[in-house]
Chain A
Amino acid sequence: DAGVIQSPRHEVTEMGQEVTLRCKPISGHNSLFWYRQTMMRGLELLIYFNNNVPIDDSGMPEDRFSAKMPNASFSTLKIQPSEPRDSAVYFCASSLYPPVPPETQYFGPGTRLLVL
């Protein structure tokens, strides 16, 4: 059974370039989360989708960040233009919630982004 799939695993880009991160959630899950992990701020929730609809994007840093979920099996997180302070590991996670009580979020392997 495949877990959450993310691509690319590593991305090195130059400041000002557009970056697109991709995620395939676990089949059957209806909730998808994008997180950012840094040493300074730990794990931060960026955006939460439920049934492909963005429910909570309060964690998105600024307008340079955008996320989409065109269908139940695919989501993208885009940064345009990228800046060095965006360097971090970006995780995608999925779960089955609601209608059940809060359920386990399963994390992907992450995309390590370095913006030069």
Chain B
Amino acid sequence: GENVEQHPSTLSVQEGDSAVIKCTYSDSASNYFPWYKQELGKGPQLIIDIRSNVGEKKDQRIAVTLNKTAKHFSLHITETQPEDSAVYFCAASGDYKLSFGAGTTVTVRA
């Protein structure tokens, strides 16, 4: 089955700086890579996703890059704000099944 590894497990950044989270996956059949943000006491919420026919996707301050050859993908958050503090999960899928990374706790210091 698919195995997704996510790093780092915790990340503390100064407000206004950038945050980068990296994930690797094992199954070359995976072709869909979503990122979820989970705030305390809430369910995971999709913030951005990318499919295997695209190398990069951007949505305002959030961007995701995908390197299919190396089987890794990354989330980039620019100009971080306090409301970006949350747990972020990457995931990989080739069909219905999402395999999640262990999560990264991001803290934005004011």
Q: Which residues of A contact B (CB under 8 A)?
A: 4, 31, 33, 42-43, 45, 48, 50, 55-56, 91, 93, 95, 97, 101-102, 104-110
Contacts and interface: CB of A to CB of B under 8 A. Distances in A.
A75 B87 CA distance: 27
B46 A50 contact: no
Contacts of A97: 96
Contacts of B93: 102
A31 B93 CA distance: 15
Interface string B80-110: 0000000001000111111011110000000
Given A4-B43, A104-B49, 16 more contacts: A42-B102, A43-B44, A43-B89, A43-B100, A45-B97, A55-B96, A56-B97, A91-B43, A101-B51, A102-B32, A105-B34, A105-B98, A107-B44, A107-B45, A109-B42, A110-B42
A108 B100 CA distance: 17
Q: Chain A interface mostly helix, strand, loop or mixed?
A: strand
Contacts of B98: 45, 105
Given A107-B44, A108-B43, A102 B94 contact: yes
Nearest to B33: A102
Task: Give the contact-size bracket for chain B.
Answer: 20 to 34
A102 B95 CA distance: 5
Contact of B96 (A4, A48, A91, A107): A48
Binding site of B, secondary structure by majority: helix, strand, loop or mixed? loop
A87 B85 CA distance: 26
Given A104-B49, A110-B42, A110-B43, A42 B100 contact: yes
Contacts of B34: 104-105
A45 B1 CA distance: 13
B42 to A, nearest CB: 6
B65 interface: no
Contacts of B18: none
B96 A50 contact: yes
B31 interface: yes
